[in-house]
Structure 1
Amino acid sequence: MEQCRHVQQTIRIQKLLNYLQNIIEISDGFRRIFCECEIECDDELDDITRTEKVLLSEKMLWKSARSALHEIFINSFFMDSEWKKTFGILYMKAKYLISSHNAFETIVDSFLEYCQSKLDHSKLLFSRATNASIQHQFRRAQSILYDLKYLLGVAPQEYTTELRENFLNGFRAFLQLLTYMHGMDKVTRQVGQYVEFDPEWETAFNLVIKIQSIISSILDWCTRDKELLLDAYEATGFALAEIQKTSDVSHLIKDKNNSSIVKTTVNHLKIDCYVYDVAKYPISVHISVVRLIVALHIYLQKYTNTATTFNNLCEKLTIYPCFIYEEALRIQVLCAQHVAGLWKRNGYSLSNQIYYYSNVKCRKEMYDRDILALQVGASLTPSDTYLIQLMHKFNLLEWIRSPEYGHSSQTESKIKEKVRIMEEFLHLLIIIVGERHEPGVGKITREENLTREVIHQLCISPMAHSELIRGLQDCGQLELGSGDFEAVLKEVADFKRGNATKGNYELKANRLSEYNQFYYHYSKADQCKSEEYVIKRRKLNDDACLYRSTDPKAQLWSEPILNRALHLITLACYEQERKSNFEFYSKCQKFELEKLINQLHLNTPSKAETCKELLAYVIKLYNKFNETNEQLNSSTITTTQETSDLTKRAQRKRKDLAAQKHEQQISSIESPSPGISSQLSSSLISPSDQQILSTSPNTLF
């Protein structure tokens, strides 16, 4: 009986909703009355309108009723601009909800409840063996995160104490979620045999994609207020300190006297390096807390000294300074070893993770943040220390110390692995040094950053408008409805309409000079395509470490190593032009780099023919420095000679004057007439000589 009554009520309500919808569509007066009634409260003491009550209880309605209700709101409120604004205000109470109802923390806590069943040693763990219904339940729970996206979508202009406090409560809860994600889906290199089955990895990446926009909104909130930014930075530092204490390197510490930091000696320099061998121990591509703290770090310069703030945080929380980029560096080593073929036995799961790690869908909060972490580390660490730490992690110090001068007794496969890892290491150095076109890292605006991204996308091939839009939106470079893109596209590209195909945008010829073949958003395939396209556009042929390159029998080198080394030298030359105190030229003279480059140019190996034009360009830049240095030296010599001549002249005049004075004294003894003596003195010293004497620093008068 109860079920029949429930069905009758459902049918009656559905018919009533359809009736209201039909009346609203044909009667403008009824629509206005309906809107007025909906924004009123049922009780004077009640501050919630009828519309809000309907929206809050919407989750209890069935699908067809919700759909009908949405259509009624669209046909009533959205038909008039004023009522549309009134209805929109109901959705703009995010600031009020966060400050007064702690909505940020409440939403995150709701999602954390669903995460509890997925935790293993305080880390999220996903498995293919999990019941399908449980997996579906967790996927549905991720929809909660969309509420955060809308809640934090618009940052406030003014911050109250209550708003800051409740936002930080939600921020700490969100940090707990990132801590659960930090280090999930760890992998260890398979040595003996292949993995029996590929582990589950998709859920973790789907979760990363969902929180990307939330992290962007959180950064927007934090960067608008100094107090909030510093509090969030410190809270993230606490989370990072806890992660460092429970880091996987702890299993290497056998007693209290041992440390995760070891001393590495290179060329009489003793450098602290973090103990961790990527090829032996577990590693994860998910390091969410590190990525958040470096994202906050680059905004500190707006309010305070970044280095001082960072050092104080490390001292207060006992964080190793190198730990801020240590885990990001491990991932780069993992990618290099994967390219070299050291992780073949780990199956497709790891290959897919590395692919999506730098893919357009995930790279904003994964690969790009890791490069940022390495750049932050480079800015906070002495250059020698930083470079040795990188080479220690890539296990390349022995390659540098190699006494056989490029020769090796290892097997051919080991040599290829070592050479490939060296190529990836140099590529990483190029990215760290050259890819500073990000707001907060370099002096660049978002529009200039967008321009550079569009240029390098069009260097791959001409593209349609929709292709460019889709790619830029996926990587987070472009917001929906942004007018900046159209202006940038008009500035850098020409539209070429096809006869039978769609029209494409083609990069302007004067913008080809801004192309960088080692652009960090290029995949290997994109890099090859871009090189071919740019060479074709420039109508050139395909003629696009130094010690071992000059040795025809050397094994531990390759053409890409030489190419990357020359590219780094070119970047250093540009930096020398920009900063006169960079001292790259003096260091080149110390290590006789010019001699090596000229020797390489005269005896270019057959396997390095494609580098000869880049080599010629490096020689041109170096000769330019030689000319500039010679001009400076000649001008310095001329100035020194002029100063020396002036000093000698002044000394000679002083001697003459002393002799004249002596003669005057003798004459005054013989003839003590003061008038004659005064006239003699004034006649012997010319006006110009008097000026020299008066300006000389060593004058006695």
Structure 2
Amino acid sequence: MVRTAVWLFLQWCDERFNFQATFLQCLAKHVPNIYSAEMDPLLEKQEEMVQAAILYPLECYLFGEDPDIFLEKLQQSGTSQLCGKVFKGGETTYSCRDCAVDPTCVLCMDCFQNSIHKNHRYKGRRAVKAGNYTSCQEAKEEIKRHSENVSQRPLHVEVLHADVMAHQKFALRLGSWLNKLMSYSRARKVLHELIFSSFFMEMEYKKLFAVEFVKARHLIEEQNVITTITETLLEVLPEYLDKNDKFNFQGYSQDKLNRVYAVIYDLRYVLGGKPTLWTDRLRERFLQGFVSFLRILTCMQGMEEIKRQFGQHIEVDPDWEAAIAIQMQLKNILLMFQEWCASDVSLHVRLSKTGAISRLHEFVSPEEFQVELLVEYPLRCLVLVAQVAAEMWRRNGLSLISQVFYYQDVKCREEMYDKDIIMLQIGASLMDPNQFLLLILQRYELADAFKKLKPTKDQDLIKQCNVLIEEMLQILIYVVGERYVPGVSNVTKEDVTMREIIHLLCIEPMAHSAITESLPENENNETGLENVIDKVATFKRPGVSGHGVYELKDECLKEFNMFFYHYTKTQHSKAEHTQKKRRKQENRDEALLPPPPPDFSPAFSNVVRILNCDVMMHILRTILQRAVELETHLWTEAMIQMVLHLLSLGLLEEKHQLQKCPEEEVTFDFYHKATRMGSSALNAVNVLMLLEKLKRVPQLEAQKDTVSWILQSTQDQEKAERKRKAEAARLHRQKIMAQMSALQRNFIETHKLLYENTLEAQGKEDAIMEEERDASTI
């Protein structure tokens, strides 16, 4: 073996031999013999053979001397700036916010503690884990679940040639050998020189490396890399398409999906650097890639549709993890595509000035455009969430509950739940408000619930109806009240992040890590927390035990919105309890009123019309009347709470519009609609009359302060209304008098000669009459 190693070393060093060809011949000869297809190979013997036949002569060739002597010299030459540590899944890594070029620049704990970066702004996080499992327990449960169902799926078997397996085993061994060498800085230099003195001597490889090395713009502009990556995805994913060309990942292979995730990460990396200068060719190639990416989204739209199970419970829960995982992988890709579009000045300026909604007619003709279709899928998803909450899908198993959880969870909500709310806001801005609400009632199957009631003793049916009404009212609150989205209103990303933090800290003081985990991350795994936390919170250092937490600043408490759309039901209850307790300690009433929201942008300004349309007033009156009459179970305190919140939003909106614009320009007449009778019947009532009666309902004692505030606001509104009407009447009379005076002056000016002759004749007539009086006197 020693003689073989020396002979190989001398042969590789001989300039007459091609090193690459000779080395590959060596592998072809020795690897299959070393890694034979034995069931129980002697590992020590294998290691001895591979060292002698391959690795030792290779080290001699690289180092130019005995490897042991060379490596000893490396150890004595000093330590490296990079430790070369290979991170395991879940291991803590650190990234310096001030110095890191991109999110891949990380340090291990030891290097971080011994570096200057610990005094910079930094972020600690877990190393990338293998697969999509957040813990060992989750992975074990997944394995267990698949093992229970193993008999239901045929095993996939492939036969590999023994030589192929041998080379696979050697590749693993070669990887560990390279990892050992890379732990030495000078060894890395040698390996680096080896690559450049061999691989890059060929012009073809040099060009290929240059393409890979240049910035994303060149890859897109010259190599059309976005299209290449997306087309690669489309080549890998067809096996998961159903007969309708929609993805269906039932019985998926985790290994194959891991390859899909790797390709998606390539696309994410390419889109990481937004161009500062656009060219026509770059724009053309980017749009080609984007169109190709839309084909993937088309396959995702409506994938893995589910039908409500009646009668019998499903036997086996369907797989759902893969579809959610794909959605999570593509979340940042979607955001990055939007950022690229916004960076194109020629496109961005037009959109920022006119709004994308107002330009829809440029792309779709009025005959083809149907806004109802625009909101159909988002509305289906939100209604599904409501029906799951009402336990109408309980026979569909736990997988559906898991999907609904992720739909609203911080990991997915930006591109799922939040976007569906925005789509409803777009629909509300384009549709007649009454028509929009009728569509909502129809999709929630609640149209009959707001007509004349038919008595029922079915408690399950009553409970379902109540939950659906609560969920619908909640969505209506979000549509008219949630405006902290750039484009929907004039807010920035920092404003959005501050609002998220404010509402988290309204629940309770939190540690830095707890806040970070509750905020969505961008494409660089950043939450924006560091940029705004000091504006809204103060850090309370830990005592003898425990950890430091952030507490909300007092001036930010006024931003609390009890129906913040990212609260879970548990968070909503806890935040409400915390804020009422605080107000009670301050000897204040317990009315948790909505903060005045920012103005909608012009394209969304019509959304507020929902608040004072006829159908909305009917919904509010019906719920209040049921609570006042106490004759039916079709109301809950949560419903009343939401109705009061909507009434408060309407009053705040009207007050704001009257302060902002002249009265004659304000068409939002919420107070007028609230005082209008519900019908022409003798016993008809309006909203304000119902609120007066609501104060006397013992079950709603907790809502009395909010009711009192609304009634006081309406009284103030009534006084202001009377004052405005009196002032308007005075101005109207003044205007009429001014018009009459102007007409009189205009008439005199127009008929000046006639007016002068009339005055002259009148003068003569008066003189004659005076003379006649004098004569008669004499």
C-alpha distance after superposition, 1:226-277 (max 9, x if no partner): 6778xxxxxxxxxxxxxxxxxxxxxxxxxxxxxxxxxxxxxxxxxxxxxxxx
Contact persistence 1:314–1:321 (CA under 8 A)? no
Which residue of the other structure, out of 432, 440, 452, is the alignment partner of 2:487?
440
Structure 2 Cα separation of the partners of residues 138 and 13 of structure 1:
36
C-alpha distance after superposition, 1:399-449 (max 9, x if no partner): 22x224xx6335222111111101100000001111110111111111111
C-alpha distance after superposition, 1:483-506 (max 9, x if no partner): x63352212112223321111111
Which residue of the other structure, out of 557, 574, 577, is the alignment partner of 1:512?
557
Q: Does 1:156 align with 2:278?
A: no
Structure 2 Cα separation of the partners of residues 93 and 73 of structure 1:
27
Which residue of the other structure, out of 736, 758, 764, is the alignment partner of 1:668?
764
Structure 1 residue aligned with 2:442: 392
Alignment of 1:371-390 (within 5 A): 371-390=421-440
Which residue of the other structure, out of 439, 455, 465, is the alignment partner of 1:408?
455
Alignment of 1:193-592 (within 5 A): 193-225=312-344, 301-302=351-352, 304=354, 306-315=356-365, 318-400=368-450, 402-404=451-453, 408-409=455-456, 411-472=458-519, 475-476=520-521, 485-499=529-543, 500-539=545-584, 545-580=623-658, 581=666, 582-591=668-677
Structure 2 Cα separation of the partners of residues 489 and 197 of structure 1:
46
C-alpha distance after superposition, 1:29-61 (max 9, x if no partner): x99xxxxxxxxxxxxxxxxxxxxxxxxxxx989
Which residue of the other structure, out of 127, 133, 143, is the alignment partner of 2:250?
127
Deviates more, 1:9-18 or 1:603-612: 9-18
Structure 1 residue aligned with 2:691: 600
Unaligned runs of 5+ in 2: 1-25, 32-49, 82-169, 190-208, 593-622, 659-665, 679-683, 769-778
Which residue of the other structure, out of 621, 625, 631, is the alignment partner of 2:723?
631
C-alpha distance after superposition, 1:311-368 (max 9, x if no partner): 3433389353221211010011111111111111111010111011101111111111
SS of 1:142 mapped into structure 2: helix
TM-score, normalisation: structure 2: 0.64
- Cα distance change, pair 635–594 in 1 and its aligned pair in 2 (3 A): farther
Partner amino acid, structure 2, of 1:350:
L
Which residue of the other structure, out of 162, 165, 173, is the alignment partner of 2:284?
165
Alignment of 1:683-698 (within 5 A): none
Contact persistence 1:408–1:556 (CA under 8 A)? no
C-alpha distance after superposition, 1:56-94 (max 9, x if no partner): xxx9894235546765789979xxxxxxxxx99975521
Contact persistence 2:676–2:686 (CA under 8 A)? no
- Cα distance change, pair 447–543 in 1 and its aligned pair in 2 (3 A): closer
Deviates more, 1:19-28 or 1:337-346: 19-28
Partner amino acid, structure 1, of 2:573:
C
Deviates more, 1:417-426 or 1:407-416: 407-416
Structure 1 Cα separation of the partners of residues 535 and 27 of structure 2:
69
Structure 1 Cα separation of the partners of residues 488 and 186 of structure 2:
45
Structure 1 residue aligned with 2:221: 99
Q: CA deviation at 1:638?
A: 2.8
Structure 1 Cα separation of the partners of residues 759 and 316 of structure 2:
110
- Cα distance change, pair 523–669 in 1 and its aligned pair in 2 (3 A): closer
Contact persistence 1:408–1:415 (CA under 8 A)? no
- Cα distance change, pair 542–69 in 1 and its aligned pair in 2 (3 A): farther
Q: CA deviation at 1:11?
A: 4.5
Q: CA deviation at 1:640?
A: 3.9
SS of 1:469 mapped into structure 2: helix
C-alpha distance after superposition, 1:283-308 (max 9, x if no partner): xxxxxxxxxxxxxxxx9732645345
Q: Aligned Cα RMSD in Å? A: 3.7
Structure 2 Cα separation of the partners of residues 416 and 300 of structure 1:
49
Structure 1 Cα separation of the partners of residues 671 and 646 of structure 2:
14
Partner amino acid, structure 1, of 2:486:
P
Structure 2 Cα separation of the partners of residues 471 and 557 of structure 1:
33
Structure 2 Cα separation of the partners of residues 141 and 110 of structure 1:
9
Contact persistence 1:573–1:621 (CA under 8 A)? yes
Partner amino acid, structure 1, of 2:175:
K
Contact persistence 2:383–2:444 (CA under 8 A)? yes
C-alpha distance after superposition, 1:575-600 (max 9, x if no partner): 11222322222322334799533443
SS of 1:506 mapped into structure 2: strand
- Cα distance change, pair 423–69 in 1 and its aligned pair in 2 (3 A): farther
Unaligned runs of 5+ in 1: 32-58, 78-86, 230-298, 673-701
- Cα distance change, pair 67–219 in 1 and its aligned pair in 2 (3 A): farther
Q: CA deviation at 1:136?
A: 1.6
Structure 1 Cα separation of the partners of residues 335 and 740 of structure 2:
70
SS of 2:397 mapped into structure 1: helix
Contact persistence 1:493–1:507 (CA under 8 A)? yes
- Cα distance change, pair 65–377 in 1 and its aligned pair in 2 (3 A): farther
Structure 2 Cα separation of the partners of residues 439 and 428 of structure 1:
20
Contact persistence 2:628–2:693 (CA under 8 A)? no
Structure 2 Cα separation of the partners of residues 559 and 373 of structure 1:
29
Contact persistence 2:357–2:426 (CA under 8 A)? no
Partner amino acid, structure 1, of 2:491:
I
Structure 1 Cα separation of the partners of residues 698 and 766 of structure 2:
93
Contact persistence 1:114–1:138 (CA under 8 A)? no
Partner amino acid, structure 2, of 1:496:
K
SS of 1:123 mapped into structure 2: coil
Contact persistence 1:559–1:608 (CA under 8 A)? yes
Aligned residue pairs, count: 555
Contact persistence 1:478–1:485 (CA under 8 A)? no
Q: CA deviation at 1:512?
A: 1.6
Structure 2 residue aligned with 1:174: 293
C-alpha distance after superposition, 1:462-496 (max 9, x if no partner): 10112212322xx13696567x6335221211222
Structure 2 Cα separation of the partners of residues 485 and 439 of structure 1:
18
Structure 2 residue aligned with 1:619: 711
SS of 1:417 mapped into structure 2: helix
TM-score, normalisation: structure 1: 0.71
Structure showing greater radius of gyration is 2
SS of 2:675 mapped into structure 1: helix
Structure 1 Cα separation of the partners of residues 331 and 460 of structure 2:
40
Structure 2 Cα separation of the partners of residues 317 and 99 of structure 1:
37
Partner amino acid, structure 2, of 1:111:
L
Which residue of the other structure, out of 246, 255, 260, is the alignment partner of 1:136?
255
Structure 2 Cα separation of the partners of residues 413 and 485 of structure 1:
44
SS of 1:155 mapped into structure 2: coil
SS of 1:505 mapped into structure 2: strand
Structure 2 Cα separation of the partners of residues 73 and 311 of structure 1:
62
Q: CA deviation at 1:107?
A: 1.5
- Cα distance change, pair 643–485 in 1 and its aligned pair in 2 (3 A): same
